[in-house]
């Protein structure tokens, strides 16, 4: 008997399965979901950045018709629950955890002080004006200088605004600097900006007092972790909570972390005995969802006269805002550990100090820490090339990690010790491909040229993208009696095309057509445990778990087939949706009277590292400071592609986000800690027409040895080097004026000022 050819969905540009539903307007988001007899919640937030709560009177608000409850910190016990750190939960960071409602002090504008629950959201909004809050204002800490001076301290018991210092070490940095021919020392700054997904956050929660069961709709990213945090805060068993994932309008690292509202809405539902719904408006999102970036890097680089990078050392300062919640230390940690990037730098001593200020707390945003550290490193390499009289491309290529060096250890980070290594890759091959596709040699003639009133410049730079955070992911496969395969996953969908990708993996693993597979994900009722979607992990970890579960399922199918065919299990052959033996065949549909159900976990503690090179061609109008991107190219090796179509969309989208952070996006506070960019009229975002000429090419050169798919996470790479590459292209364009951008964003006003200052120095 000749078996049909094996499936080959992996690697095929399958159009997104979920898109047809979205395009027809049949997506179901939190705002679409309602429960019978539900109430609506609105947050009363602090109008002050820093102060002591002297009095809060909610009696007038409670008396408003339609108001069912006004919840303050005193309603939650002696001390409100604190939001723990999900990642790097160091005990020394416990003093900086955020209470779910402010008590004693407020520490940023927008911090929740009370929750109003009413018949309608409009009534709840009206009740906010009836809450009397008296705050004794304290000096606001809004920058590094005031944080370090400690003229005012956010946490008096700690006595300092310094929360923690991360240290990354490899080799002997001091010895490397002692033998260097060139030492550069520079300061770089990346502004505070954040993930601006289209659909703001929201929850619907319902408490069943009889069954003692909580249901929460609106889970995203890390539902199982958040269930455990919520259960602890509510004092109930995690198994008595069901968290349901609905459709999500983007995530980018910010959505799905545990915020005060993750506790407050379920707690309110239990208190009032009715379902409660809350949806965030855009001002709340800008003011209260995790911010990101906001890093200053004071860096030294040691080089030999032939352009070898001998060492890195220095100190960076991260403005983490008022509290350290969920994953707030990831970005600062990454700044130090990953500053070497794809380059062979043997001697490193880098530190990052996390500072608390009276701003919204920070968390992760696509490429956390890597966007910032790549800006500093790539700018530094260009400056070094100029000092040494070397070609900017040559100096980079000379320092790239080689295939023969793999696996290549990166710096070790402490105090939460993290040891990691680049897993595989041929970095020079990708670098050369980028130079060829970009026509680096041909475009070099443009450098610094004034054409039609605009100075032109080019730049190139390389990057790495870490992915596949462990320790595990779970998958459950159920072959129904109708022959349909249902795949349940612990991974979550945050807009990355998870349903399509996992369907492709399952279809190949089981040799079944796509239309016979249903993928369900993200809800805690699907599998026993799950770790969610972050750190470019969902495909590698969730996909690998599917492969393991598929092997278990095929074994169980053979057992069922053997019982029906009257033979040994190892004599049963799987052929598509049939089991066969001795000329007899039985379809999967009806093979067993009951569904065949298996579950498997994929364990992995080693990261994957995609890598690539990007290049940019820009021009600058010296009269206005406006920068135009003429061409942006990215080449990235992801090990093994599951779906080139969705991957291409991820790469292009990430680059656009990087360009937005490079040119436009800036969360600005005044000296009193008031957010000045509280709407999309003030906080500018890129649109489809801003950057039309972007190309992304994805390669499959070096599969990862750390997972059975050979895949590497690829959702963040596009954004990582953008700031540094564009800044270098602007410097290249304005080289005749001596302009050196050291700070983002490169808004027209900032670029114009740099040009004006350079001209004044020259005059």
pLDDT in tens, 320-336: 999 999 999 999 999 99
Pairing of strands 485-489, 472-479: antiparallel
Q: Has residue 662 got a pLDDT over 70? A: yes
Report the SS3 class of residue 454. Answer: strand
pLDDT tens-digit series, residues 691-730:
889 999 999 999 999 999 999 999 999 999 999 999 999 9
Q: What phi, psi does 571 have (nearest 5°)? A: -95, -10
Residue by residue, DSSP assigns 665-730 as: ----B-TTS-BS--STTTS----TTT---EEEEEE-SS--TTSTT-----SSGGGTTHHHHHHHHH
pLDDT tens-digit series, residues 536-560:
999 999 999 999 999 999 999 999 9
Q: How confident is the model at residue 576 (pLDDT cuts 50, 70, 90)?
A: confident
Cα separation, 152 vs 333, whole angstroms: 25
Per-residue model confidence (pLDDT) at position 5:
53
Cα separation, 239 vs 234, whole angstroms: 13
Q: What phi, psi does 54 have (nearest 5°)? A: -90, -35
Per-residue model confidence (pLDDT) at position 458:
98
b/e map 325-351, b = 16+ CB within 10 Å: bbbbbbbbbbbbbbbbbbbebbbbbbb
Q: Has residue 763 got a pLDDT over 90? A: no
Any bridge partners for residue 219, and if so which? Answer: 245
Q: Has residue 181 got a pLDDT over 50? A: yes
Cα separation, 23 vs 440, whole angstroms: 40
Longest pairwise C-alpha distance within the chain:
95
Per-residue model confidence (pLDDT) at position 762:
81
All domains of the chain in start order, with CATH: 19-27+470-603 (3.30.365.10), 33-138+196-288 (3.90.1170.50), 423-466+610-762 (3.30.365.10)
What's the residue count for the chain? 763
Percent of the chain whose pLDDT exceeds 90: 96
Q: What is the mean pLDDT of the chain?
A: 96
b/e map 487-500, b = 16+ CB within 10 Å: bbbbbbbbbbbbbb
Contacts (Cβ under 8 Å, ≥6 apart) of 266: 203, 205, 207, 214, 216, 230, 234, 241
pLDDT tens-digit series, residues 38-85:
999 999 999 999 999 999 999 999 999 999 999 999 999 888 999 999
Q: Has residue 2 got a pLDDT over 50? A: no
Q: What is the mean pLDDT of residues 273-284?
A: 97
CA 248 from centre of chain: 15
Q: Has residue 1 got a pLDDT over 50? A: no
How far apart, in Å, are the Cα atoms of 512 and each of 123, 491, 547, 580?
53, 22, 13, 15
- For residue 498, the number of C-alpha atoms closer than 13 Å in the C-beta half-sphere is 31
Q: Has residue 3 got a pLDDT over 50? A: no
pLDDT tens-digit series, residues 437-461:
999 999 999 999 999 999 999 999 9
Among 34, 42, 74, 41, which residue's Cα sits nearest to residue 57?
74
Q: How confident is the model at residue 233 (pLDDT cuts 50, 70, 90)?
A: very high
CA 643 from centre of chain: 20
Q: Has residue 376 got a pLDDT over 60? A: yes
How far apart, in Å, are the Cα atoms of 532 and each of 229, 601, 602, 707, 733?
15, 13, 13, 17, 43
Q: Has residue 567 got a pLDDT over 90? A: yes
Per-residue model confidence (pLDDT) at position 121:
98
Q: How many helices (H) and strands (E) does the chain have?
A: 18, 32
- Calculate the CA dihedral of residues 320, 323, 328, 331 and round it to 10 degrees: 10
């Amino acid at each position: 008997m000749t078996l049909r050819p094996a499936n080959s969905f992996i690697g095929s540009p399958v159009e997104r399965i979920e898109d047809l539903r979205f395009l027809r307007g049949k997506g179901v988001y939190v705002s679409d979901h309602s429960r019978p007899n539900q109430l609506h919640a609105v947050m009363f937030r602090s109008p002050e950045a820093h102060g002591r709560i002297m009095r809060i009177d909610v009696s007038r608000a409670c008396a408003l018709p339609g108001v069912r409850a006004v919840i303050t910190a005193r309603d939650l016990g002696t001390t409100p629950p604190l939001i723990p750190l999900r990642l790097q939960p160091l005990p020394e960071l416990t003093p900086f955890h955020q209470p779910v409602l402010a008590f004693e002090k407020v520490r940023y504008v927008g911090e929740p002080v009370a929750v109003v629950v009413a018949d309608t959201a409009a009534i709840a909004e009206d009740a906010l004006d009836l809450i009397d809050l008296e705050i004794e204002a304290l000096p606001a800490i809004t920058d590094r200088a005031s944080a370090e001076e400690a003229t005012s301290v956010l946490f008096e018991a700690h006595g300092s605004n310094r929360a923690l210092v991360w240290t990354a070490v490899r080799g002997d940095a001091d010895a490397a600097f002692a033998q260097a021919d060139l030492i550069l020392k520079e300061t770089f700054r990346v502004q505070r900006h954040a993930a601006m997904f289209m659909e703001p956050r929201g929850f619907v929660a319902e408490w069943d007092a009889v069954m003692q069961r909580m249901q929460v709709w609106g889970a995203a990213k890390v539902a199982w972790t958040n269930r455990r945090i919520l259960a602890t805060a509510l004092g109930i068993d995690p198994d008595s909570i069901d968290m349901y994932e609905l459709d999500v309008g983007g995530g980018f690292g910010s959505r799905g972390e545990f915020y005060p509202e993750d506790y407050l809405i379920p707690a309110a539902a239990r208190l009032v005995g009715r379902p409660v719904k809350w949806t965030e408006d855009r001002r709340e999102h800008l003011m209260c969802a995790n911010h990101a970036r906001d890093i200053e890097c004071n860096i030294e680089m040691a080089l030999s006269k032939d352009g070898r990078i001998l060492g890195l050392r220095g100190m960076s300062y991260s403005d983490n805002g008022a509290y350290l919640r969920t994953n707030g230390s990831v970005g600062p940690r990454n700044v130090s550990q990953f500053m070497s990037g794809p380059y062979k730098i043997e001697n490193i001593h880098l530190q990052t100090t996390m500072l608390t200020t009276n701003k919204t707390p920070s968390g992760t945003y696509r490429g956390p820490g890597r966007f910032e550290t790549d800006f500093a490193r790539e700018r530094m390499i260009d400056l070094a090339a100029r000092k040494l009289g070397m070609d900017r491309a040559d100096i980079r290529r000379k320092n790239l990690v080689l295939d023969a060096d793999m696996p290549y250890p990166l710096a070790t980070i402490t105090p939460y010790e993290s040891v990691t290594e680049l897993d595989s890759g041929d970095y020079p091959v990708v670098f050369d491909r980028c130079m060829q596709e970009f026509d680096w040699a041909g475009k070099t003639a443009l450098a610094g040229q004034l054409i039609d009133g605009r100075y032109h410049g080019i730049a190139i730079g390389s990057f790495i993208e870490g992915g596949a955070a462990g320790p595990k992911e779970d998958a459950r496969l159920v072959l129904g009696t109708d022959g349909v395969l249902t795949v349940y996953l612990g991974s979550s969908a945050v807009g990355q095309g998870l349903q399509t990708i996992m369907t492709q993996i399952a279809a190949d693993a089981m040799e079944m057509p796509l239309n016979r597979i249903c993928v369900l994900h993200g809800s805690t009722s699907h599998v026993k445990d799950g770790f969610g979607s972050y750190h470019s992990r969902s495909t590698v970890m969730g996909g690998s778990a599917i492969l393991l579960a598929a092997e278990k399922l095929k074994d169980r199918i053979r057992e069922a087939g053997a019982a029906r065919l009257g033979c040994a299990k190892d004599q049963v052959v799987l052929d598509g949706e049939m089991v066969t033996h001795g000329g007899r065949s039985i379809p999967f549909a009806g093979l067993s009277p009951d569904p065949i159900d298996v579950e498997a976990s994929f364990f992995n503690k080693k990261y994957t590292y995609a890598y690539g090179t990007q290049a940019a061609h820009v021009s600058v109008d010296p009269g206005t400071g406006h920068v135009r991107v003429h061409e942006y190219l990215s080449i990235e090796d992801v090990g093994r592609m599951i779906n080139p179509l969705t991957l291409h969309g991820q790469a292009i989208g990430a680059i656009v986000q990087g360009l937005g952070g490079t040119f436009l996006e800036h969360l600005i506070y005044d000296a009193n800690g008031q957010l000045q960019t509280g709407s999309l009229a003030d906080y500018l975002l890129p649109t489809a027409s801003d950057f039309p000429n972007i190309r992304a090419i994805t390669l499959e050169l070096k599969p990862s040895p750390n997972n059975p798919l050979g895949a590497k996470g690829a959702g963040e790479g596009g954004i990582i080097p953008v700031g540094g590459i564009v800044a270098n292209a602007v410097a290249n364009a304005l080289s005749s004026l001596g302009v050196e951008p050291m700070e983002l964003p490169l808004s027209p006003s900032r670029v114009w000022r740099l040009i004006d200052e350079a001209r004044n120095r020259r005059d």
